[in-house]
Chain A
Amino acid sequence: MDKIYTIIIYIYFLCLLFLVNACTQNNNIETSTISTEYSQKLFKKEKICFPLDDRADTKAVTILPYYGKNNKNYLTFLSKSENAILFYYLHKNELAFKVKYKLEGPNGVGSIYGYTIVDFDSIFVLGTRGYKGYLTDTSAVVKETFVLEKSDAETHSVDLSAATREPITVKDDKLIFKGIPGGEAFASDRYKYSIFYYWDLLNNEFKSLDFPLPENLYKDKHWVWTFQEGNYTVNDKGQFVVSHEVAPYLRVTDFNETQTYESKSDYIDDIPPLSKPDIESGLRQWKTENYYRDVAYDKYRNVYYRFALHRQELIDEKTGDENPWDSRSWSIIIMDSAFNKIGEKYMPPKQYFFRDWFITEEGLFISNNNDNNPNLDEDCLSFTLFELKDV
């Protein structure tokens, strides 16, 4: 009788072990093998390198192609270590010139956060801890200064930001910036405030545009502060296409009307909010949880790319080390001009850096300068070209 009892217990434990194992495996979706049929695919082509001297870092933050007069085309990027915008000839990959900004003095702009180029005589720079803007030119002379602080009735503070994923945009005599409402990181009313602000170039006023975070995703929910923003691109109709970090959709707006289009990654099942709003849980959410990032309009092919960052474990099983935020796998969702999903490209971990990219007639260039890439070259701003083709 005892023997039978022992065997039953043994079988019971085996079943339990099997169930636990099955549950664990289910959590780790084998992401690289997802294969949904789509009409378009990004094909990896050649690598290119913009050589960096010993004063420039591999992380660019803002990258903008600029198409100048007489077919002189440039790739420009922000070298924070030099407080300069570097202009490289786009097809020769050679440095053309640098526009170096002073930190202080009559032509001082503070540390540059971001910039946009209208032409060589009109370069708008966001500097001085993000609350002053400057109209400058390629000789780094400050022609005008804008104090970007709220001047209307609203009382909350705003931190303006500018990067490749949130480009300063000139539209209808307005200089439009992304702004993050200041205050407590987990303040319950943060979602009520707009994430877009503008400098009125005609009336010299700083105001907000009516575009708060979607209430259904943010009201009564806790997210790390970096999930309470939005990344955007501007399409050929002048509409802002916004990718909120936790939204399975894109919002398309002209700031009068806003439409929503589904935009989900095959690799993201869900994005759970925080159970408790504290710094440690927030940082863990940012480092490990699924979320959406940059959205980019490709005017040459009339498509959109949306970057989806995949969930990763906090601790690397092999090394026992904490995984850096940018060591995870990610994917590029491809959507046509009507926001129908037409493809999704899986990007392996530790190889590409999703923050730095640009688009030209040739295709989408993604940075190879991921700090976790064992082949990282510190003297080269390196990109891989991805070409969009029919499957």
Chain B
Amino acid sequence: MKSVATIVFFIVIFCNCNRQTEEDKKFTLLTEALNKPLRHDYKSFLIIPAEGCSACIEWSKDFALSHLNNKEVAFIFSSPTEKRIKLLIGEENIRQENIYLDLNAKASAYGLIKNYSPVIIYAEKISKKTIQLKPENIQEELFKLEQYLQDN
């Protein structure tokens, strides 16, 4: 009986370890397309398209600029052109440690960005939690992200 329980236990563990959701797979693919290797110990990520919902992008950009070099959150700016990202956040900020560039707009191509709006991804223990931002929820979700960064 004990051995059956042990086997079941290991099967459950094994299944959980391999439970990579579709979103996780997309995110892994995205990390391979960035301008530099993504550090693995970030707790959260904010993916920001350079074009789309302008109010959402403005809020997210301001959030990013006020958290430069934060070791808990990475900002991935997505655009087919580097110039557009420079125009958005300033050339001087493009090389900050926690700023990453998705210069082939793969975040949209892989379907992580669904409605030309930023996305927050929390790196939770087993799989990632994705939140699509829109004008109605952006302030609340950025506030939650701020709290999450302070609490963790």
Q: A81-B87, A283-B114, A283-B115 are contacts. A371–B108 as well, Cβ < 8 Å?
A: no
Please count how many residues in chain A sit with their CB below 8 Å of the partner chain's CB atoms: 19
Partner of B105 from the list A81, A111, A324, A379 (CB cut-off 8 Å) is A324
Q: Flag if A376 contacts B106 (CB, 8 Å).
A: no
Q: Which B residues lie within 8 Å of A322 (CB)?
A: 108-111
Q: Which B residues lie within 8 Å of A59 (CB)?
A: 51
Would you list which residues of chain B between 106 and 125 have a CB under 8 Å from chain A?
A: 106, 108-111, 114-115
Q: A57-B87, A59-B51 are contacts. A321–B109 as well, Cβ < 8 Å?
A: yes
Q: How large is the interface on B (under 10, 10 to 19, 20 to 34, 35 or more residues)?
A: 10 to 19
Q: A319-B109, A321-B106, A322-B108 are contacts. A54–B83 as well, Cβ < 8 Å?
A: yes
Q: Which residue of A lies closest to B54 (CB)?
A: A111
Q: In the bound complex, how far is the Cα of B86 from the Cα of A119, in angstroms? A: 33
Partner of B80 from the list A55, A280, A372 (CB cut-off 8 Å) is A372
Partner of A57 from the list B84, B108, B114 (CB cut-off 8 Å) is B84
Q: Does A378 contact B (CB under 8 A)?
A: yes
Partner of B110 from the list A54, A111, A321 (CB cut-off 8 Å) is A321
Would you list which residues of chain B between 86 and 139 have a CB under 8 Å from chain A?
A: 86-88, 91, 105-106, 108-111, 114-115
- In the complex, what's the smallest C-beta–C-beta distance from A81 to chain B, in angstroms? 4
Partner of A58 from the list B54, B81, B115 (CB cut-off 8 Å) is B81
Q: Which A residues lie within 8 Å of B114 (CB)?
A: 280, 283
Partner of A371 from the list B80, B106, B110 (CB cut-off 8 Å) is B80
Would you list which residues of chain A between 222 and 279 have a CB under 8 Å from chain B?
A: 279
Q: Flag if A324 contacts B115 (CB, 8 Å).
A: no
Q: Which residue of A lies closest to B81 (CB)?
A: A378
Would you list which residues of chain A between 290 and 333 have a CB under 8 Å from chain B?
A: 319, 321-322, 324
Would you list which residues of chain A between 56 and 94 have a CB under 8 Å from chain B?
A: 57-59, 81
Partner of B87 from the list A55, A324, A372, A379 (CB cut-off 8 Å) is A55
Q: In the bound complex, how far is the Cα of B54 from the Cα of A376, in angstroms? A: 23
Q: Which residue of A lies closest to B88 (CB)?
A: A81
- In the complex, what's the smallest C-beta–C-beta distance from B32 to chain A, in angstroms? 13
Q: In the bound complex, how far is the Cα of B73 from the Cα of A387, in angstroms? A: 52
Q: Which of A55, A283, A319, A371 has the most CB of B within 10 A?
A: A371
Would you list which residues of chain A between 337 and 384 have a CB under 8 Å from chain B?
A: 371-372, 376, 378-379
Q: Which residue of A lies closest to B84 (CB)?
A: A57
Q: Flag if B81 contacts A376 (CB, 8 Å).
A: yes
Q: A371-B81, A372-B80 are contacts. A279–B105 as well, Cβ < 8 Å?
A: no
Q: In the bound complex, how far is the Cα of B108 from the Cα of A145, in angstroms? A: 39
Q: In the bound complex, how far is the Cα of B108 from the Cα of A319, in angstroms? A: 13
- In the complex, what's the smallest C-beta–C-beta distance from B5 to chain A, in angstroms? 42
Q: Which residue of A lies closest to B115 (CB)?
A: A283
Q: Which A residues lie within 8 Å of B86 (CB)?
A: 54
Q: In the bound complex, how far is the Cα of B110 from the Cα of A57, in angstroms? A: 25
Q: Which residue of B lies closest to A279 (CB)?
A: B115
Q: In the bound complex, how far is the Cα of B106 from the Cα of A57, in angstroms? A: 20
Q: Which A residues lie within 8 Å of B91 (CB)?
A: 54
Q: Which B residues lie within 8 Å of A378 (CB)?
A: 81-84
Q: Which residue of B lies closest to A81 (CB)?
A: B87
- In the complex, what's the smallest C-beta–C-beta distance from B118 to chain A, in angstroms? 15
- In the complex, what's the smallest C-beta–C-beta distance from A368 to chain B, in angstroms? 14
Given A283-B114, A371-B105: 4 more A-B contacts, CB < 8 Å? A54-B86, A54-B91, A321-B106, A322-B111
Which residues of B approach A to under 8 Å, CB–CB?
51, 54, 80-84, 86-88, 91, 105-106, 108-111, 114-115
> Closest 6 CB pairs between A and B?
A321-B109, A81-B87, A371-B80, A378-B83, A378-B81, A322-B109
Q: Can you offer 14 A-B residue contacts whose CB atoms are under 8 A? A: A54-B91, A58-B81, A81-B87, A280-B114, A321-B106, A321-B109, A321-B110, A322-B109, A322-B111, A324-B105, A324-B108, A371-B105, A378-B81, A378-B84
